[in-house]
Amino acid sequence: MRKGYPTPRLEAKAKGLLTYFSGKPCIHGHVTERYVKHGNCLGCLAEKREYFNNYAKTHKETMRSAGRRFRKNHPDVHCAIQALRRADKLQRTPSWANLEAIQTIYSQAKEITEKTGIEHHVDHILPLKGELVSGLHVAENLQILLGMDNVLKSNRFII
Ligand SMILES: [Zn+2]
């Protein structure tokens, strides 16, 4: 290709497209489209996805017990992930959220629970899906509460 001549990838990028097609095979021989962002081949991706899906199908019990083991060994990380999923679903995690700071709060709650022997939860000060106002899934909107308080507070927010 002549120097300075726009490549299919650059052309696609300029057009704001997600994928481009160069006609050249990838290292695994797929002649498919590729992602503009990282140049990954869509054929490779589909193969990988199929591999994981097949693995999950044929190793159901392994996957389940691995999940159980992870939840048992890292309950705080599990809680943080669950909360992140829930917040993502409600689209309440802004791009600027400090995920590390969020994880720290979940780890603190676990630590306090272990030290005091009293269940402590991480709670959203402004609920993610409140009746009047909705909060964000960010460290500033998190507080550690006694388990019972959390249950009683439910989704109400007193203004
Ligand atoms: Zn490929």
Same-domain pairing of 52 and 80: no
Q: What is the pLDDT of residue 151?
A: 60
Please report whether residue 64 resides in a domain.
Answer: no
Tens digit of each residue's pLDDT (9 = 90 or more) over 41-97: 999 999 999 998 999 899 999 999 999 999 999 999 999 999 999 998 789 999 999
Please report whether residue 69 resides in a domain.
Answer: no
The rounded Å distance from CA 51 to ligand 1 centre is 14
The rounded Å distance from CA 35 to ligand 1 centre is 11
Token readout for 153 is 């507070």
Using the predicted structure, report yes or no on whether residue 3 has a pLDDT greater than 80.
no
Residues whose beta carbons lie less than 5 angstroms from ion ligand 1: 26, 28, 30, 41, 43-44
Domain extent at residue 26: 8-58
Same-domain pairing of 38 and 103: no
pTM of the model: 0.59
Same-domain pairing of 105 and 136: yes
Percent helix, strand, coil in the chain, to 5, is 50, 10, 40
Same-domain pairing of 149 and 80: yes
The rounded Å distance from CA 59 to ligand 1 centre is 25
CA distance 89 to 44: 28
The rounded Å distance from CA 54 to ligand 1 centre is 19
Name the residue type at position 116: T
The number of distinct structural domains making up the chain is: 2
- Please tell me the number of Cα atoms within 13 Å of 9 on its side-chain side: 10
Same-domain pairing of 117 and 81: yes
Same-domain pairing of 51 and 83: no
Smallest CA-to-CA distance from 122 within 72, 71, 78, 79 is with: 79
Same-domain pairing of 85 and 123: yes
**Length reported for the chain:** 159
Query: What confidence tier does 152 reach under pLDDT thresholds 50, 70, 90?
Result: low
Strands (E), the chain: 19-20, 34-35, 120-124, 142-146
Please report whether residue 42 resides in a domain.
Answer: yes
The rounded Å distance from CA 3 to ligand 1 centre is 26
